Amino acid sequence: MEDNRLLRKSRILIAADNFRLITPLTDSLSKIQIHVRLTVSKQATAVYSDWLPDLIIVDLQTQFDHGIACLTQLKSIVQDAVPILALTGPDAVASRQAALSQGAKDILSLPCDAAEALARVRNLLELRCLHQRLRQPDATMISQDHHQTHDIQSNFCQRLARLVVYRDRDTGTHAMRMSHYAAALGRAAGLTAVESDLLQQACPLHDIGKIAIPDRILLKPAPLDSDEWSMMQTHTTIGADLLAGDDSALLRIAHDTALTHHEKWDGSGYPQGLSGESIPLVGRITAICDVFDALTSVRPYKPAWPVKDAVAAICQQGGRHFEPRLVKAFCTILPELLAIKAHYTEPKTVA
């Protein structure tokens, strides 16, 4: 009920060149009495300036060039972090990447069910509310202490992380394990309490760039071929682009983890081929935690590895994939990591 009140108070501008294609979406929004205004792509900037919506939805399905031009123009004038949701077809890889590069904060592939569409819209509107509180503190906000401000920033990151959960059908437990693994390993590696807490809040965003990866790749129940793997690798730079430009310590850490968690100690990783200490420490920490969780979790293409086998694989990669000092710290705190793993287990599937 509370979520629907947020939606009803919000105004959504939808820019499209074929309203028939988005009828299911507009019908879903109208059922909860949300304020929606439709316009064609070429008039979107004028309508935006006149109406000042809380969320903009741009359809790229019919007139792709018009849609991208619309995004480019909106990017130059949109104020107060008004989020943009781009609509694409199910396999429109170029459209997804172009939309994200022009400022879209999420991608919705059509057709989709009403529940997913409303969840994405609600999540972006919540992000707008949180971003306004972060960027435009009023007198009450100024009087709040550090812990209250930190809570708002943490909530902001959690909302962003939900975008990945929606995209890859994850239950959210991967993000929870990752955040606690990273904080624990960060403490063992010498991060201060404040630094490890920031890493815990930022770590769930390490895969935010996956919102641009097509379902046929992201959800493929088999190993990826070379072209698919090349596409998957772009989630690091896309994620970094989405998180760039913010001056908060939390989002700077989130940017670094998104960009560098697939770099390797010996320089053989991606996307930049960084090596050794040129890789930010938060990226090095996240790399070990991500591999440990991936190995010990069920994936569409593999069963979970036994913990002892996963630990052995990580130890073998010391000096190659991982910083040797962090591998040693990882082994030292393994009991703590296993306690985290036991606490944030995947829910049982009921047949």
Contact 85, 108 (CB under 8 A): yes
Of the residues 210, 308, 341, 348, which is catalytic?
210
From the CA atom positions of the chain, what is the Rg in Å?
21
Active site residue 210: yes
For residues 181 and 340, give the distance between their C-alpha atoms in angstroms, rounded to a whole number.
7
- Give strand ranges (E) for the chain: 11-15, 35-39, 55-59, 84-88, 106-109
**Segment (H or E) for 315:** helix 307-316
Computed from CA positions of residues 54, 215, 94, 235, in that sequence, does the dihedral angle turn out positive or negative? Answer: positive
Q: Token pair 């919506």 is at which residue?
A: 53
Assess contact for 225 and 87: CB atoms under 8 A. Answer: no
b vs e for 219-248, b when ≥16 Cβ sit within 10 Å of the residue's Cβ? eeeeeeeeebeebbbbbbbbbbbbbeebeb
Which of 325, 267, 326 shows the shortest CA–CA distance to 291?
A: 326
Question: Tokens representing 61?
Answer: 């399905």
Residue 11: helix, strand or coil by DSSP? strand
User: Is there a contact between 45 and 73 (Cβ–Cβ < 8 Å)?
Assistant: yes
**Measured distance CA(264)–CA(270) in Å, rounded:** 8
Contact between 14 and 44 under an 8 Å Cβ cutoff? The reply is no
Q: Catalytic residue positions?
A: 210
